[in-house]
């Protein structure tokens, strides 16, 4: 449901980004909610993306935890692309401090490679983060048996 709101609801993005920001420590460590976090970085306004990234950086060790996961590593890469100056240096320092554990997972290695490219001024730093393409109605798939029509319900994770 929350992924659907992020993809299709423009007025709800800011509110949802604020809610994610308040619960970033839970969202960043929950396997399912980290998929929602990735959608927030893909669809929220630039201002909300930076605010959410900054909130995630304020939680010690959270960026590295997010970077090691299947869905979270995409968020970590987008965070690195969003941040500049002292915030980027903070993210770089946090990931460098966790480099040993990040190298143990393919997702962590992917984030470290992105960090190296951005720190070296590679092409990735010049391009804005990519937004996922919108699905055509003919591309819609049937929901899994354990999911509702609108997808999994993450509201339990983000209760106010």
Domain ranges of the chain: 2-127
Contact 34, 69 (CB under 8 A): yes
pLDDT at 44: 86
Dihedral sign of CA atoms 18, 19, 25, 30 in order: negative
CA 103 vs CA 41, 120, 129: distances in Å:
24, 19, 23
pLDDT in tens, the chain (160 residues): 666 655 666 667 788 888 899 999 888 888 888 888 888 888 888 999 999 999 999 999 999 999 999 989 999 999 999 999 999 999 999 999 999 999 999 999 999 999 999 988 854 444 444 454 444 444 444 444 433 444 444 444 444 4
pLDDT at 58: 94
pLDDT at 160: 40
Measured in degrees and rounded to the nearest 5, phi and psi for residue 84 equal -140, 160
Distance (Å, whole) CA 145 – CA 96: 41
- The number of C-alpha atoms within 13 Å of 120 and in the hemisphere containing its C-beta is 9
pLDDT at 42: 83
Which of helix, strand or coil describes residue 10?
Answer: coil
Question: Considering the domain 2-127, what is its CATH architecture?
Answer: Alpha Horseshoe (1.25)
pLDDT at 145: 41
- Single pTM value for the model: 0.68
Contact 63, 92 (CB under 8 A): no
């Amino acid at each position: 449901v929350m992924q659907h709101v992020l993809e299709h609801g423009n007025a709800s993005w800011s509110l949802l980004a604020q809610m994610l920001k308040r619960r970033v420590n839970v969202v960043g460590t929950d396997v399912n909610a980290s998929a929602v976090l990735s959608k927030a970085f893909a669809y929220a306004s630039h201002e909300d993306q930076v605010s959410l990234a900054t909130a995630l950086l304020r939680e010690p060790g959270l960026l590295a935890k997010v970077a090691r996961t299947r869905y979270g590593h995409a968020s970590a890469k987008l965070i690195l692309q969003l941040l500049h100056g002292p915030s980027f240096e903070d993210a770089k320092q946090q990931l460098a401090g966790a480099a040993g554990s990040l190298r143990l997972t393919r997702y962590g290695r992917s984030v470290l490679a992105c960090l190296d490219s951005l720190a070296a001024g590679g092409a990735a730093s010049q391009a804005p983060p990519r937004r996922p393409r919108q699905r055509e109605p003919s591309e819609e798939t049937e929901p899994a048996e354990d999911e509702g029509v609108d997808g999994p319900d993450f509201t339990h994770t983000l209760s106010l």
